[in-house]
Amino acid sequence: MGETETLSVADDEGSPFDVFSRLCPSRGTLEHVTGRWGSLTLGALYESGARFNELRRRVDGVSEKMLSQTLHALERDGLVLREAQFTNPPRVDYELTDLGRAVATRLLELIQLVEGRMPEVLEARARYDAARAD
């Protein structure tokens, strides 16, 4: 960042990683954990591990393909653990790693904030739309 920037929030940590920088790998990880399905998948695994189909039910609306892609990205980033059990039929369980749990905790705090403040959001939307309908 240029020396006139003031994003000390990101710099305070002394981390060499910076999501505001396009080429930093942390941006990809932030996208995996905050993406359309990544955040819901991590949140859905917070209470307990789950099998694939159980997860699909918890994350209402996700397709099989998208859930599969999401889980692979989260597994690759070390946030989700995939455990295949060689039973017949084979059974695959997913659960959060310690890192995944730390991330999911922050995500759920965000989710609870958003859910709790939705009345304000809906009022703001109504005002915004009314001002433009004049």
Among positions 20-39, residues that touch a second copy (CB under 8 A) are 20-22, 25-26, 29-31, 33-36, 39
Instruction: Name the token pair of 132.
Output: 């433009």
Q: How far is the CB of 109 from a second copy (least distance, A)?
A: 6
Contact between 92 and a second copy per CB under 8 A: no
DSSP one-letter string for 77-111: TTSEEEEEE--SS-EEEEEE-HHHHHHHHHHHHHH
58 touches a second copy (CB under 8 A): yes
Q: Does 64 bind a second copy (CB under 8 A)?
A: no
> What does the DSSP 8-state code read for residue 22?
T
Site for a second copy in 99-128 (CB under 8 A): 99, 102-103, 106-118, 120-125, 127-128
Q: Catalog residues that contact a second copy under the rule CB under 8 A.
A: 2, 5-10, 12-13, 15, 17-22, 25-26, 29-31, 33-36, 39-40, 43-44, 46-48, 57-61, 75-79, 99, 102-103, 106-118, 120-125, 127-129
